Chain A
Amino acid sequence: MEQRVVNEKDLNDLLVWATNHGYVELPLDDKVVDSVLQSTPEEISERVKNHFKSRLKERLIEEAISSARICIPWEGLPFGRYLEAVRSRAGLSREVVAARLQKTDEYLHRIERGDTSPVQLPVSEIVVILELFHIGLHAATQMLQASDRVSESKQNYRAAARSHGGVRHDIRSEDVEKALDAFARKLLKNKGKEWQSPDRAETAGFMTKVETELKKRGRSDLLG
């Protein structure tokens, strides 16, 4: 190999390389950054900025949900209540998550509350929810089955409550509805294995379609 003598151009190239790769620290301090911010470069259009803002907002929502779901065990929880727990833990309002799903606040509220059974929704909509909350097929199936059981249980209590002069469930407050949910789950748990209501064929059939949709979307990470 021939000998190589460093000249001024080489020196500059070497300095650039060394700073690009972190071997030499580029001196970024307040003075440098302030002058960068004060210089008036050509502005990016509002349309492009808004695109970046939307994209960042989506990513922040996904990150918040991703961090929150680690702290919320899904076992035994109805599907809607799980979504609500994760959303709440992530510090996100229902409006923000609904907007991310491109749905209304009321749509998400009905799912969280259990008023809309997930199996009544189009498969594509449930899959979007599973993707956002990163819920695998097994967990989703278990939670939908839990939703079915709690829902059946609550039906009986509602009927009993109305016959004793209680209010209809659709005008019952959120707190009372949540308490009723938790009560129903607890009673189911106490009844033990001999009282497992049969898992609905409707749910099983629905989940088969969900599985197909996940495969179509290449979401093998959610098939477990």
Chain B
Amino acid sequence: MDEINSTEFLKRLQEGSLEAYEYLVGKLLTPLRRFLSHTMNLPEPDAEELADDVFLQVHRKIKEYKPGPAKLTTWIFQIAKNQAIDYYRKATSQPPVSHLDPAKLRTDDFQYARRNQQMLDWLLREMQKLSETDQHILLWRSRDIPYVQIAEWLGINETAARVRHKRATEKLLANGGEFR
């Protein structure tokens, strides 16, 4: 990936070189599709289509990218993440709250009419009280990322990641979380 993150390659992309885009597809298609399906939990066919759109978005926005804050590969994955967010926002249906059986609520049934908006507000409020590291641990664990991997990303050891996750969860659940 060093070549992709080089100044020379960026220049070729910004000049619209078709060969450069083909090279990008060759290198990033597999990891992007995997990220979209395994980490962002998109169904496989949708992950495939969205991966396609990511490269088109890269082409449209490449002149906005400035080296420094993040590598080009990171910037491209952020585009992929945003594409996934757009996908979910379009796909969410809004059934009335009264038609939902709370016992059967699942992630994709969440809709934010009165009660669920309260839950979201509660979550956003309580998350702010946690350290950034604890927030990151919670977010990645919710996606079943192994502790050992999270620990590596955050520069802590695995045991610390497990303990901090447990404590952060207990703290959140202890602070209210009752909704009508």
- Contacts A15-B142, A24-B124, A41-B34 known; A52 to B106 CB distance under 8 Å? no
Asked if B104 is an interface residue, CB under 8 A from chain A, the answer is no
Please count how many residues in chain A sit with their CB below 8 Å of the partner chain's CB atoms. Answer: 53
CB contacts (< 8 Å) of A217 on chain B: these are none
* Contact yes or no, A21 B92, CB < 8 A: yes
Distance in angstroms from A190 CB to nearest chain B CB is 39
- Contacts A4-B178, A35-B152, A96-B18 known; A26 to B56 CB distance under 8 Å? no
* Contact yes or no, B70 A30, CB < 8 A: yes
CA distance A96 to B71 in the complex (A): 31
- Contacts A18-B123, A53-B25 known; A1 to B115 CB distance under 8 Å? yes
Neighbour of B102 across the interface among A4, A37, A42, A61, CB < 8 A? A4
B-contact 0/1 string along A49-63, CB 8 Å cutoff = 100110111011101
CA distance A177 to B179 in the complex (A): 78
- Contacts A11-B173, A26-B139 known; A36 to B127 CB distance under 8 Å? no
CB contacts (< 8 Å) of A53 on chain B: these are 22, 25-26
Neighbour of B177 across the interface among A5, A43, A56, A61, CB < 8 A? A5
> Across the A-B interface, how many residue pairs have beta carbons closer than 8 Å?
159
* Contact yes or no, A37 B138, CB < 8 A: no
Quick one: which of A123-148 are within 8 Å of B by CB? none
CA distance A15 to B98 in the complex (A): 23
CB contacts (< 8 Å) of A52 on chain B: these are 25, 29, 51-52
B-contact 0/1 string along A12-29, CB 8 Å cutoff = 111111111111101111
* Contact yes or no, A57 B18, CB < 8 A: yes
Neighbour of A37 across the interface among B1, B39, B78, B179, CB < 8 A? B1
CA distance A207 to B16 in the complex (A): 35
Please count how many residues in chain B sit with their CB below 8 Å of the partner chain's CB atoms. Answer: 68
* Contact yes or no, B169 A11, CB < 8 A: yes
* Contact yes or no, A16 B26, CB < 8 A: no
CA distance A43 to B52 in the complex (A): 16
CA distance A24 to B102 in the complex (A): 23
CB contacts (< 8 Å) of A41 on chain B: these are 30-31, 34
Neighbour of B138 across the interface among A15, A21, A33, A39, CB < 8 A? A15
Instruction: For B32, give the chain A residue with the smallest CB separation.
Output: A36
CB contacts (< 8 Å) of A61 on chain B: these are 18
Asked if A3 is an interface residue, CB under 8 A from chain B, the answer is yes
* Contact yes or no, A29 B81, CB < 8 A: no
Asked if A6 is an interface residue, CB under 8 A from chain B, the answer is yes
* Contact yes or no, B120 A18, CB < 8 A: yes
Distance in angstroms from B76 CB to nearest chain A CB is 8
CA distance A19 to B102 in the complex (A): 21
CA distance A159 to B39 in the complex (A): 71
Quick one: which of B27-83 are within 8 Å of A by CB? 28-31, 33-35, 39-41, 51-52, 55-56, 59-60, 70-71, 73-74, 77-78, 81-82
Not counting A22-B85, A37-B73, A56-B22, a sample of 4 additional A-B residue pairs whose C-beta atoms are within 8 angstroms of each other reads A2-B180, A14-B119, A15-B123, A36-B31
Would you list 11 pairs from A and B whose C-beta atoms are within 8 A, ordered by A residue? A4-B179, A5-B179, A10-B119, A14-B123, A18-B123, A44-B29, A53-B26, A56-B25, A57-B18, A57-B22, A60-B21
Give me the 4 closest cross-chain CB pairs, A-B, nearest first. Answer: A6-B177, A15-B142, A22-B85, A20-B88
